[in-house]
């Protein structure tokens, strides 16, 4: 295991924008498409234990969602229960086009929760508790995911044998370079906005406190594959600014954009107020997404420079892995030449891990070659003078932290499922492969089962095996 990786040449513009244009292995991949149908992507949250108490204030429910975005479901649940949205607690947002199962803690009577009926929602009331849960309060997620339409580089369908052989080859090479069951801890594309990586771009303007640009970017930035009516609305705003005519062009489902434009029409020039029309978690996500681009690009640059990512070099910051498999960022220490052998041993045993930057006002940075790489990425993104303090909305300020460069997958099993091409398939599948795609409707279908700790992305693990455009994830 030498820990040094090489990048493959294949990339696309979206991947480049968010730093997701490298792979752990020098292999061909299997191509294919995720979420060809909703039931192809299943997530079961592995919860931390909740202390049940019959006299508890909150209702605990296990809820299974089919093709629901988590925040949208919470909004609908709050309306159904006639409670504020902030009285519903959960540990993590899940993929929309999927079947997901997770715990919710709800500040409402059991009877009321049990009576809620919504399409494609199953609610199982488990009891009551005094305990809230929050983001990250779970041990991980168990995934069952089907990659459909595996294809060679030239777009021809891949046989079952070829696909399984390639998966085995990639798994073996990752183990050799990074260690058993280990892959690069990329931050997945869902953090940035699919097809329109707007979130991090807005974040740049937020930390610069250029509120006009933050708002106008969110409303008007062009996407790659949006509907004609959405394109027309965004183009109008880019050309004319917020107008009544532009508002009339906006589809009803663009709720955030419409509310921002409406605010500006009533309170001209109040861009901070317009930005606040976004939900609080989405406001925060803009800053987190910007930090995430820095992390991905720093990870990419490190691989490109030939530095190992699963074992340290002098100058690195390494941190302790806790019992949940999470990095304890407060434990990070600089690696010196004299401590390198001992720390390397602990990294190989999974006790310690190398880290990359999620920058902020107080973040520690690496020294040596690693530090130079991180500084170069931050400078390349014009963030070297950013102080990450947001005076107009202080809760968006961030002190920064570190993130593990590699993470583990567990309980991996791989098999195949029959090729399907029926009414249950999604629109993308029915439309067929495009010019810049790598899948074929007659290609093999491979099913992956695995467990990840919280904060790791199933899409980035599968991306290592697929090696196609991000639009296929």
Distances (CA, A) of 422 to 36, 68, 419, 442: 11, 22, 10, 13
* Dihedral sign for Cα atoms in the order 451, 353, 406, 165: negative
What count of other Cβ atoms lies within 10 Å of the Cβ of residue 154? 7
- Rounded Cα distance between 286 and 191, Å, is 9
Tokens 């690069």 identify what position? 184
As a whole number of Å, the end-to-end CA separation of the chain is 29
pLDDT at 8 (0 to 100) = 41
pLDDT category of residue 363 using cuts at 50, 70 and 90: confident
Better-predicted residue by pLDDT, 50 or 107: 107
Name residues whose C-beta falls within 8 Å of residue 90's C-beta, 6 or more positions apart in sequence: 70, 74, 102, 103, 104, 105, 133
- Rounded Cα distance between 76 and 213, Å, is 31
Tokens 């040449």 identify what position? 9
Distances (CA, A) of 397 to 379, 382, 389, 428, 455: 20, 18, 4, 39, 21
* Rounded CA Rg of the chain: 23
> Which domains does the chain possess?
32-39+142-185+410-472 (no CATH), 49-136 (3.30.70.3160), 198-278 (1.10.1510.30), 281-404 (3.30.2350.20)
Mean per-residue pLDDT, 443-468: 95
pLDDT at 91 (0 to 100) = 85
* Cβ–Cβ < 8 Å for 37, 425: yes
- Rounded Cα distance between 458 and 140, Å, is 11
Mean per-residue pLDDT, 269-295: 94
The helix (run of H) or strand (run of E) holding residue 380 is helix 368-380
pLDDT at 195 (0 to 100) = 66
Backbone angles phi, psi at 416, to 5 degrees: -120, 160
- Rounded Cα distance between 70 and 273, Å, is 25
pLDDT at 359 (0 to 100) = 96
- Rounded Cα distance between 246 and 244, Å, is 5
pLDDT at 1 (0 to 100) = 39
Long-range Cβ contacts of 379-384 (<8 Å, 24+ apart): 380/297, 381/204, 381/293, 381/294, 381/297, 383/204, 383/207, 383/290, 383/294, 383/359
pLDDT at 115 (0 to 100) = 96
Mean per-residue pLDDT, 254-268: 95
Name residues whose C-beta falls within 8 Å of residue 430's C-beta, 6 or more positions apart in sequence: none
pLDDT category of residue 136 using cuts at 50, 70 and 90: low
* Dihedral sign for Cα atoms in the order 403, 405, 411, 413: positive
Better-predicted residue by pLDDT, 313 or 138: 313
| Exposure class string for 238-277: b at 16+ Cβ within 10 A, else e | eeeebeeebbebbeeebeebbebbbbbeeeeeebeebbbb
Dump pLDDT digits (tens) for 2-57.
444 444 433 477 888 898 988 999 999 999 999 999 999 999 999 878 899 999 99
Dump pLDDT digits (tens) for 304-355.
999 999 999 999 999 999 877 789 998 999 999 999 999 999 999 999 999 9
- Rounded Cα distance between 255 and 277, Å, is 10
- Rounded Cα distance between 343 and 319, Å, is 10
- Rounded Cα distance between 18 and 191, Å, is 10
Helices (H) and strands (E) in the chain, counts: 15, 14
Closest CA to 359 of 295, 430, 313: 295
- Our answer to whether residue 95 is catalytic in this structure is yes
DSSP single-letter state for residue 353: E
Mean per-residue pLDDT, 158-185: 96
- Rounded Cα distance between 182 and 171, Å, is 9
Cα dihedral 184→185→191→193 (10° resolution): 0
pLDDT at 95 (0 to 100) = 80
- Region of residue 37 (left: phi > 0; alpha: psi -120 to 50; beta: else): beta
- Rounded Cα distance between 446 and 443, Å, is 10
Rounded to two decimals, the pTM is: 0.88
Catalytic residue among 21, 40, 95, 316: 95
Dump pLDDT digits (tens) for 396-443.
999 999 999 999 999 999 999 999 878 889 888 999 998 888 999 999
């Amino acid at each position: 295991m030498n820990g040094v990786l090489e990048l493959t040449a294949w990339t696309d513009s979206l991947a480049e924008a968010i730093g997701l244009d490298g792979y752990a292995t020098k292999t061909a991949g299997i191509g294919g498409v995720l979420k060809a149908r909703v039931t192809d992507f299943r997530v079961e949250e592995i919860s931390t234990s909740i202390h049940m108490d019959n006299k508890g204030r909150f209702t605990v429910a296990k809820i299974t969602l089919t093709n629901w975005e988590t925040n949208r479901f919470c909004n609908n649940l709050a309306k159904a229960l006639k409670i504020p949205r902030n009285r519903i607690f959960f540990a993590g947002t899940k993929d929309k086009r999927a079947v997901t199962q997770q715990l919710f803690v709800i500040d409402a009577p059991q009877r009321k929760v049990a009576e809620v009926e919504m399409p494609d929602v199953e609610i199982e009331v488990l009891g009551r508790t005094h305990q809230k849960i929050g983001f990250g309060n779970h041990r991980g997620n168990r995934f069952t995911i089907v990659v459909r339409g595996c294809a060679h580089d030239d777009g021809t369908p891949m046989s079952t044998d070829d696909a399984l052989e390639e998966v085995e080859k990639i798994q073996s090479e990752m183990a050799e370079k990074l260690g058993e069951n280990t892959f690069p801890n990329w931050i997945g594309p869902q953090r940035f906005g699919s097809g329109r990586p707007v979130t991090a771009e807005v974040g740049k303007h937020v930390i610069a406190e250029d509120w006009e640009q933050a708002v106008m970017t969110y409303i008007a930035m062009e996407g790659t594959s949006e509907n004609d009516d959405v394109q027309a609305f965004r183009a109008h705003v880019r050309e004319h600014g917020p107008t009544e005519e532009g508002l009339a062009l906006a589809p009803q489902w663009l709720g955030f954009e419409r509310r921002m434009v409406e605010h500006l029409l009533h309170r001209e020039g109040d861009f901070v107020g317009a930005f606040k029309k976004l939900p609080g978690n989405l406001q925060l996500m803009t800053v987190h997404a910007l930090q995430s681009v820095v992390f991905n690009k720093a990870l990419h640059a490190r691989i490109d420079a030939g530095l190992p990512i699963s074992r340290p070099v002098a100058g690195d910051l390494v941190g302790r892995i806790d019992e949940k498999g999470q990095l304890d960022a407060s434990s990070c220490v600089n690696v010196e030449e004299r401590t390198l052998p001992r720390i390397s041993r602990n990294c190989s045993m999974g006790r310690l891990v190398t880290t990359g930057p999620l920058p902020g006002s107080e973040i520690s940075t690496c020294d040596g070659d690693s530090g130079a790489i991180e500084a170069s990425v931050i400078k390349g993104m014009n963030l070297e003078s950013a102080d990450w303090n947001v005076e107009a909305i202080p809760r968006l300020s961030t002190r920064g932290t570190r993130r593990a460069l590699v993470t583990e997958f567990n309980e991996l099993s791989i098999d195949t499922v029959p090729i399907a091409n029926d009414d249950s398939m999604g629109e993308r599948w029915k439309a067929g492969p495009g010019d810049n795609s790598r899948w074929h409707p007659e290609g093999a279908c491979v099913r992956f089962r695995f467990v990840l700790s919280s904060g790791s992305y199933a899409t980035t693990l599968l991306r290592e095996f697929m090696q196609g455009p991000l639009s296929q994830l």
